[in-house]
Chain A
């Protein structure tokens, strides 16, 4: 299964300044997930202190178009100007909120391994070679309807130290901002049809099958460019903001 196509097109922009929707922590992965060994010493054991959102979470940084370079969303060309090696793909979709409305001006940042499964990082010593023309990061701002697009190469799968023979499925890391700091989110996009997804201990930190499915991007032949590249569609949903006149009453009212 992949992302449901029903997570689709509802017009309008999310500009409400209201309190954040409560986060469904049964939908997200829990902190302590023994299948992913590193989480065992990095997971808080004490209960989280529950708090409704305040101005500190309802406000957040904003980013302007002027800081985005022409090639920032083109990972094939943005490192040296010469094309990276690999299967050329478009990654595109919309950033929506839980009310189903496109969120404009969201900074979307991505990073990934190259086509052989190797990251340009001093801590990655995998056998696959670096591609001299692939840096591995890109960024863009969503359009007024919440849409975004990247051109990149499909990242390779790679082995990682967890159990003796664990492999990461092909994936692209995705970081998104909402209008409030409390909406901050990092996730990973997987590719339809990859048999490593269901074997991956990081994917399986998520308990619910339906929640995993929304991280799997379907092949989107309508956005593929003939004789050039394939396309995958990945919609991202941010926490919503409540829309009520009965909010923020002063104490005692």
Chain B
């Protein structure tokens, strides 16, 4: 016998279910009056430094259906690559909160994230990661929130140097993480939950 490791186990996940909006975005759902506003409506305030961008996209299941009950949260650095709040390296742009809650449209399934393009953040060994937005995606049928990242297809040099993208053994899958620039400041990005073009999800 040995000494017992007395760590607790993380609480097991359960699906967010079809009614997640009641809890997380009640105003958007049409339950006004409990909270003044929904949290995470925008990751930036007016005056945020950096390039304003809009990303739109969909969440698509293995049968090709667009999810209308998906919700994700995004977390990103400011234009200089500093995280708001508890980044040990220093104070981020006060007009960047960094966090957003993004619900797919109840009718079309299209989601939209307006923000500024994040800067490069160092990997633990000091090498710079490419600009990216961290994503945690939940919906009915997803038992444990999926972790992925949105990178940008117009950051070819940074992407080629990114130690996280370099971890993806099947390099042909890297484009599933790249938001496609469709116009100045505009990108499109679909999350594909299952199938040949399945988005890369991480175990972090």
Chain A interface (Cβ < 8 Å from any Cβ of B):
7, 17, 19-21, 23-25, 27-31, 33, 36, 38-46, 48-57, 59-63, 67, 69, 72, 78-80, 96-100, 109-111, 119-124, 135-139, 173, 175, 179, 181-182, 184-188, 202-203, 205-206, 211-212, 214-215, 236-240, 247-251
Contact = CB atoms under 8 A, between A and B. Distances in A.
B194 A173 contact: no
Interface stretch (B20-28, B44-52, B108-116, B179-187): B20-28
A44 B146 CA distance: 9
A187 to B, nearest CB: 5
Nearest to B203: A48
A110 B65 contact: no
Contact of B10 (A27, A45, A50, A111): A27
Contacts of A79: 31, 33-34
Nearest to A190: B14
Contacts of B11: 185, 187, 214-215, 236-238
Contacts of B98: 61
A48 B34 CA distance: 38
B3 interface: no
B12 A248 contact: no
A39 B141 contact: yes
Contacts of B136: 181, 184
B62 to A, nearest CB: 4
B122 A55 contact: yes
Given A28-B10, A119-B19, A214-B9, 16 more contacts: A17-B86, A21-B7, A28-B13, A42-B193, A43-B141, A43-B143, A53-B204, A54-B124, A61-B84, A109-B24, A111-B20, A120-B31, A173-B23, A237-B11, A250-B125, A251-B126
Nearest to A31: B143
A120 B127 CA distance: 48
A169 to B, nearest CB: 11
Contact of A54 (B129, B138, B203): B129
A36 B167 CA distance: 32
Nearest to B30: A122
19 contacts: A28-B12, A29-B14, A31-B144, A41-B65, A41-B194, A42-B61, A42-B141, A42-B194, A49-B201, A50-B202, A53-B204, A55-B121, A59-B86, A61-B84, A122-B29, A135-B22, A181-B136, A187-B11, A237-B10
Contacts of A7: 8
A62 B85 contact: yes
B168 interface: yes
Contact of B9 (A24, A31, A111, A138): A24
B86 A60 contact: yes
B183 to A, nearest CB: 27
Interface residues of B, number: 85
A92 to B, nearest CB: 15
Contacts of B103: none
Contacts of B26: 135, 137
A167 to B, nearest CB: 14
Contacts of B134: 56-57, 181
B124 A247 contact: yes
Contacts of A248: 124-125
A58 to B, nearest CB: 8
Q: Which of A31, A99, A203 has the most CB of B within 10 A?
A: A31
A54 B198 contact: no
A49 B168 contact: yes
Nearest to B147: A182
A147 to B, nearest CB: 16
Given A45-B198, A54-B129, A184-B73, A179 B13 contact: no
B1 interface: no
Contacts of A78: 34
Contact of A136 (B15, B22, B39, B168): B22
Interface in B100-155: 106, 121-127, 129, 132, 134, 136, 138-147, 149
Nearest to B126: A250
Nearest to B33: A79
Contacts of A53: 204
